[in-house]
Amino acid sequence: MDYFLNQLINGLELGSLYALVALGYTLIYGILELLNFAHGDVFMVGAFLAAGVAALFVHNEIAAIPGGLVVVLMLLVAIGGAGVLGVGIERVAYRPLRNANRLAPLITAIGVSLFLENAVFVWVSPASVLVPTHALVSQGVLRAGVVETPLTGLMLFGGSLGLMIALDLFVFRTRFGSAMRATAQDREAATFMGIDVDRVIMVTFFLASALAGFGGVLYGLRYASVDFFMGYGLGIKAFTAAVIGGIGNIRGAMVGGLLLGVLESLSGGFISTQFQDTFVFLALIVVLLVRPQGLFGQPVTDRA
Amino acid sequence: MSGQPTAFEGETGHALKRFWESGPSGWNRTLTRPVVLVPFFVVAALVPLILQYVEDNSSWIGAQYWTLILATCAMYACLAVALNLVVGYAGLLNLGFIAFFGIGSYAYALVASDQIHQHFPLWAALLVVIVVTLAFALLVGVPALRLRGDYLAIVTLAFGLIMTNLILDLDRPPVLAGHQFGPDGLNITNGTNGLHNVAPFSLPTSLPVLGAIPHYRMYYWIFVGFLALSIFCMLRWRHTRTGRAWVAIRDDELAARAMGVNVFKYRLLAFCTSAVMAGIVGMIDAALVFNAYPENFAVQQTVQVFVMAILGGLGSLPGAILGAIAFTIPPYVLQQFVFYKYLIISVVLVVVMVLRPEGLLGTVSLRPRKVLGGTVELLTAESEEAEGHPVDKADAAEIEAVTGEILTPEQKL
C-alpha cells in the first residue's frame, strides 16, 4: 500500500508536467487544427534556458543572490524565451502554410522539431547538462504518514495546477479568451466579428509555449538534468495525454496528463519498468481506436 | 506555375526550351519516359565498372568506397520511392515508415545469423521478411487507417517508438508484474548492440562475362535493380484503377468516397506495399553491412527519407532519386559538415515546404491556394479552406462558371 501511494504521488507529479505540455498541444490544435510536433522541443529549449540562467548565477557566483531569486529569474527567462520562440515558429513555419494542404504544416512541424533538437545538440551541448538544483531550492523531503515526496516535486505539482487554473480562467472568463474560443470554433466567422485572428493565434502560441517553458524550469529543478532529446519523448507523451483527454479540450488535457502520469508510474511500478513507455504508447493507440475523440472531446467528424 | 498554358507557346521552340518551359509536372513526365529511364539505369549499373576502370588505370583508389556510397544512395532512393507511394500517392503521413525498414533488417538478420541459429536460403528469408513486415503493417494499418490523417501520423509515430523500445529491450526475457516470460537466456534482438555476423545473400560471386563481383558492387546492383523494378511497377500502377483511386483519395477523400472508392482498402494497400518495400530494402541493407542495428529504427531516418521525397517532389519518382542523391553524396564529400547534417536537413525541409511545397519535380501541390475575388469564394473556396477541406471539384467548376476564370490544376486539387 505504501508503495502504491508513493507511485501514485510520483505519477501525479509527472502527470502534472505532462498536463502542462499537453495544454500547449491542445491550445494550438484547438485553434489551428495543427499538430505542433515542435512543442516538446520548445519545452526542451525552455529547460535549457533555465539551466543556463542557473549555471550563470550558481557556478560563477556573481553575487550572493538568494536561490529563490534565481528561480524567479529562471522562470522569467524560460517563459519569455519559450514564448517568443513559439511565436517565431508560428511566424516562420506555420503562417505561410495556413491555407495549404494539411500535410504541409505537419511536415514543417517535424522539420522545426528536428531543427531545435539539433541546434541544441550542435551549439549548446550534445550531452546532458546538470541543473544545480541543490543550490537553488530546498532539497527537503515532505512526509505525510507513509507518503513522501521531495519538495521540488510538490512545487512541480502545485505550480502546474496553479497555472492550469489560471489558464482555464483566462480562456473561459476573459474577453480575449472568448476571442480564442471563437477563433477555434470558426476562424472565418471570428474574423467577421472583428477578431484579429492573427493576433489570437500569436497569443495562443505564446501562451502554449510559455506553459512549456514553465514546465521546462520545473522539470530541471525536480530532475536536475536536461538534455537535447528530452523534449521528444516527453512531447509525445504529453501529446498522448492531450489525445486521451480529447484534443482541443483544455480541461481534458489536464485530466489526460494526470491520468497518463499515474498510468506510467503505476505500470512502471507494478508491471514492468522495462516496458513502461511501451504501455504509454499502447494506451495512446488503444484510446485512439476505441474513442478517437478522447475522454472529453467532441465526436470527431471524419475529415481527410 | 505548372498550370500555365505554356505547352501551346512552346510547340515551336527548341526541344530543350520546350522541356524547360513545361514546368515541374512536365519535367516529371519527361523524366519518367522509358527514353530517359532506361539509359539512366544502364548508366547507373555501369558506374561501378567505370570506377573500377579508373582505379585500375590511375593512382586513384576508392572504387570500393565510392561503390559503397552509391549503394547507400541507391538504398535511400528505394526508400524514398517507397515513402513516395504512401505519402505522395496515397497522402498518408506514415511517421513510422523507417520502422518497417528496421523490421525487415531484423527479420532477415534473425534467419541468417547465429542469433537464433537459423540460416534460411535466400528465397525463404525473403519470404520471411515479406510475411513479417506485412504482418506488422497490417497490425498497425488496419486499426490506424480508420483514423483521420493527423491521428494516423501520431499512431505510426507511436508504433515506431514501441518498436524501438522492443528492439532495445528484448535482449532479455520480458518480465511483466514479476512474472518472467521465456527462459533466462532468451535474447532475441541483442539490445543496443544489434545483430552481428549476418550472412550475405548466397548469390554467385562471379559471373561469366563480368568476372568476380566484389561485395559492394553486387549489393549496389541489387539496390539499383530493386529501384528499377519499383519504379517500373509504380509507373505502371499510377495509371491503373488502383493508382487513380489513391490520387482521388489524396486529393479529396470525401469526393472519392462519394464516387464509390473503398477508401480504407486502397489506403491499406498503399500502406502495406510501401511497408513491404521498406522491409525488403532493410533486408538487403542487413546483408550489405552484415549487421542489423537498433539505429535502423531511428526517427531521424524517417525524417531524412521524408526530406529526400519532399525535396525531389511528392508524387514524383525521378524526384525521389534526385532527393536521395542530393542528401547522400554531399555528406561524404563535405566530411566536415557531417556534424551539422540533421541541422541542414531540417532547415532544407522547412524552407522547401514554405517556399516551394511541391519540391523540385513534384506533381502534388501543397501550396496555399490563391484566393479569388467575389462572393463565390466566400461561400465555397474560402470557407472550405478554413476548415482544411480541399476545394471540391464541383465548387471549382462553380467558381469557374461564375467568375469566368479558369482555375489551375493546383487550385482544383
CA distance A33 to chain B (A): 8
**pLDDT confidence band for A32 (50 / 70 / 90):** confident
Nearest one of B250, B253, B271 to B139, comparing CA atoms: B271
Q: How many CB pairs under 8 A join A and B?
A: 164
Q: Which helix (H) or strand (E) holds B66?
A: helix B63-83
**Cell numbers describing residue B266:** 486502397
CA distance A207 to chain B (A): 23
Q: Per-residue pLDDT tens for B275-326? A: 999 999 999 999 999 988 888 888 888 888 988 888 888 888 888 898 899 8
Query: Which residues of chain A lie closer than 8 angstroms to B340, CB-CB?
Result: 118, 122
What gap in Å lies between CA B133 and CA B120, rounded to an integer? Answer: 17
- On the question of pLDDT at B383 being above 50, the answer is no
Q: 3-state DSSP call for residue A142?
A: strand
**pLDDT confidence band for A99 (50 / 70 / 90):** confident
What gap in Å lies between CA A183 and CA A24, rounded to an integer? Answer: 16
Mark yes or no for CB contact B354/A92 under 8 Å: yes
The backbone torsions φ and ψ at residue B363, rounded to the nearest 5 degrees and listed phi first, read -105, -10
**pLDDT confidence band for B393 (50 / 70 / 90):** very low
Residues B52-70: what's their mean pLDDT?
87
| Pairs from B215-220 (Cβ < 8 Å, separation ≥ 24) | B215/B288, B216/B48, B216/B64, B216/B67, B216/B68, B216/B71, B216/B288, B217/B48, B217/B52, B217/B67, B219/B71, B219/B284, B219/B287, B219/B288, B220/B48, B220/B67, B220/B68, B220/B70, B220/B71, B220/B74
CB B239 within 8 A of CB B29: no
Residue A293 is predicted with a pLDDT of: 78
Mark yes or no for CB contact A118/B158 under 8 Å: no
CA distance A54 to chain B (A): 27
Sequence-separated (6 or more) residues with CB below 8 Å from residue A20: A160, A163, A164, A211, A212, A214, A215, A238, A257
- How large is the angle between the packed helices B122-144 and B97-111, nearest 10 degrees? 150
B249 to chain A: nearest residue by CA? A304
Query: Which residues of chain B lie closer than 8 angstroms to A303, CB-CB?
Result: 148-149, 253, 387-389
Cβ burial B226-240 (10 Å sphere, 16+ → b, else e) = bbbebbeebeebbee
Mark yes or no for CB contact B354/A118 under 8 Å: no
Mark yes or no for CB contact B151/A107 under 8 Å: no
- The residue of B150, B264, B393 whose CB has the most chain A CBs within 10 angstroms, and thus the best one to mutate to test that interface, is B150
* A102: region left, alpha or beta (phi > 0 left; psi from -120 to 50 alpha): alpha
Task: Give the best-scoring range by mean pLDDT among A244-248, B43-47, B209-213.
Answer: B43-47
Q: Closest partner residue to A103 among B249, B354, B366, by Cβ? A: B366
Query: Which residues of chain B lie closer than 8 angstroms to A111, CB-CB?
Result: 303, 346-347, 349-350, 353
Q: Which residues does residue B176 pair with via DSSP β-bridges, in sequence order?
A: B179
B349 inside 8 A of chain A by CB: yes
| Pairwise pLDDT comparison (B80 vs B393), residue with the higher score | B80
- Among B171-185, B188-202, B255-269, B274-288, which is the least confidently predicted range? B171-185
Mark yes or no for CB contact A97/B357 under 8 Å: yes
**pLDDT confidence band for B373 (50 / 70 / 90):** very low
User: Predicted ipTM?
Assistant: 0.83
Cα B10 to chain centroid distance, Å, stands at: 33
How far are the Cα atoms of A273, B3, B21, B22, B30 from residue B7, in angstroms, in the given order?
63, 10, 8, 6, 13
CA distance A278 to chain B (A): 5
B253 inside 8 A of chain A by CB: yes
Mark yes or no for CB contact A285/B350 under 8 Å: no
Task: Give the best-scoring range by mean pLDDT among A91-95, A220-224, B60-64.
Answer: A91-95
What gap in Å lies between CA A71 and CA B343, rounded to an integer? Answer: 31
Q: Closest partner residue to A270 among B177, B342, B349, by Cβ? A: B177
- Among A280-284, B79-83, B130-134, B292-296, which is the least confidently predicted range? A280-284
DSSP state of B408: P
- On the question of pLDDT at B370 being above 90, the answer is no
Nearest one of B270, B278, B276 to B242, comparing CA atoms: B270
How far are the Cα atoms of A195, A284, B101, B197 from residue B284, in angstroms, in the given order?
57, 33, 10, 14
Q: Per-residue pLDDT tens for A174-203? A: 999 999 989 888 888 888 988 999 999 999
Mark yes or no for CB contact B366/A100 under 8 Å: yes
- On the question of pLDDT at B155 being above 50, the answer is yes
B61 inside 8 A of chain A by CB: no
Question: Sign of dihedral through CA atoms A143, A147, A151, A154?
Answer: negative
Residues B97-117: what's their mean pLDDT?
90
| Pairwise pLDDT comparison (A89 vs B369), residue with the higher score | A89
Question: Sign of dihedral through CA atoms B176, B178, B181, B182?
Answer: positive
Q: Per-residue pLDDT tens for A115-148? A: 999 899 888 888 888 888 777 777 777 777 777 7
Burial class (CB in 10 A: 0-12, 13-18, 19+), A193: exposed
Query: Which residues of chain B lie closer than 8 angstroms to A107, CB-CB?
Result: 93, 306, 310, 349, 353
CB A233 within 8 A of CB B154: no
Nearest one of B307, B335, B300, B337 to B322, comparing CA atoms: B307
CA distance A219 to chain B (A): 22
**Cell numbers describing residue A239:** 501529446
Burial class (CB in 10 A: 0-12, 13-18, 19+), B269: middle
Q: Which helix (H) or strand (E) holds B37?
A: helix B34-56
CA distance B272 to chain A (A): 19
Residue B80 is predicted with a pLDDT of: 93
Nearest one of B56, B119, B62, B95 to A35, comparing CA atoms: B95
CA distance B365 to chain A (A): 8
- The residue of A28, A33, A114, A116 whose CB has the most chain B CBs within 10 angstroms, and thus the best one to mutate to test that interface, is A114
The backbone torsions φ and ψ at residue A279, rounded to the nearest 5 degrees and listed phi first, read -65, -40
CB B286 within 8 A of CB B105: yes
